[in-house]
């Protein structure tokens, strides 16, 4: 089995739990997830199976979409309502203009300090390990990109918003910063990832749906999205049969031997033998050659 199964993760499970359940359901060992979701979060969690587990590094630039609810008037240790309360206070009157300003402030490239209760490593240890032991450690701000922020609803002390952001963005931290900007604190109370690159709610499946399809006798392979499903942002190179044989065995081929769009420079290209996805490649502009970066299929 080679491909992706886009799981609609329920709350209360770790991303590792999802992988373990899929291994039991499908009878496959080689399964890994892309883009960890915290246990309290729900939503899209793509799982790579077989050769698809090797795709992850090409998905770093994919944007994620989330729907989040936050509660104002709370400051918590973890930035969400599941952590220890540090302070509670009254929520002031908030105007529509202030909410529109928030939408503009949290847009574009911003600097964000990862929360102490996160898996980011500093000096070889994860931040949550420092936090749990009561140790203080300096954490550097990181640049992340918010493509869009839209407030959907505001009622008394609750804000519901959608955000589209780059890898490494902490939505909990956005909630904390919104609360500070409004002068009363804020903590995340609900989070669902609605998209991760090409993986969306529309092509996700629940565990119950997966099991039902298997019980009906659907072949396991038909549950999967193709290995190249999330790679649509990369330009395509198509090879003929003879050239493809040389390429998948490690050979560098001349650009003139490939049907390839070189109108814009790319770091990687997806390579096909006819309609069959076989590899990811780089281009050596000086030598005018297509070079294998990672081969997914060998000779038939």
Angstrom distance (rounded) from CA 284 to CA 294: 15
Angle 30-233-39 from CA coordinates, rounded to 5°: 45
φ, ψ dihedrals at 232, nearest 5°: -60, -20
Look at residues 78, 112, 114 and name the one whose alpha carbon lies nearest to residue 188. Answer: 78
How far apart are the C-alpha atoms of 195 and 204, rounded to whole Å?
A: 9
The residues annotated as belonging to the active site are 38
DSSP per-residue letters across 82-141: TSPEEEE-PPPP--HHHHHHHHHHSSEEEEEPPPSSS--EETTEEHHHHHHTT-------
Give how far the C-alpha of residue 71 lies from the chain's centroid of Cα atoms, to the nearest Å.
25
Q: How many CB atoms lie within 10 A of CB 240?
A: 12
Contact between 249 and 239 (Cβ < 8 Å): no
């Amino acid at each position: 089995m080679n491909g992706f199964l886009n799981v609609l993760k329920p709350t209360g499970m770790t991303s590792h739990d999802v992988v373990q359940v899929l291994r039991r359901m499908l009878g496959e060992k080689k399964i890994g997830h892309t883009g960890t979701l915290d246990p309290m979060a729900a939503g899209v969690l793509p799982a790579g199976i077989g050769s698809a587990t090797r795709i992850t590094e090409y998905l770093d630039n994919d944007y994620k979409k989330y729907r989040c609810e936050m509660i104002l008037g709370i400051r918590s240790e973890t930035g969400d309502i599941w952590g220890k309360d540090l302070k509670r206070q009254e929520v002031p009157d908030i105007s529509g203009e202030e909410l529109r300003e928030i939408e503009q402030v949290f847009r574009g490239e911003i600097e964000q300090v990862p929360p102490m209760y996160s898996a980011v490593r500093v000096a070889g240890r994860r931040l949550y390990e420092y936090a749990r032991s009561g140790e203080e450690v300096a954490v550097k701000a990181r640049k992340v990109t918010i493509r869009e922020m839209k407030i959907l609803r505001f009622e008394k002390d609750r804000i519901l918003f959608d955000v589209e952001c780059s890898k490494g963005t902490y939505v909990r931290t956005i909630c904390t910063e919104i609360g500070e900007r409004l002068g009363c604190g804020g903590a995340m109370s609900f989070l669902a990832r609605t998209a991760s690159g090409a993986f969306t709610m529309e092509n996700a499946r629940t565990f119950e749906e997966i099991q039902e399809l298997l019980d009906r006798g659907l072949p396991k392979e038909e549950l999967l999205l193709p290995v190249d499903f999330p790679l649509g942002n990369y330009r395509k190179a198509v090879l003929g049969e003879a050239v493809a044989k040389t390429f998948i065995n490690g050979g560098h081929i001349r650009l003139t031997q490939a049907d390839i769009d070189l109108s814009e420079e790319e770091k990687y290209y997806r390579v096909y033998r006819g309609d069959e996805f076989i590899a990811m490649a780089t281009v050596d502009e000086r030598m005018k050659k297509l070079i294998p970066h990672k081969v997914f299929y060998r000779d038939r």
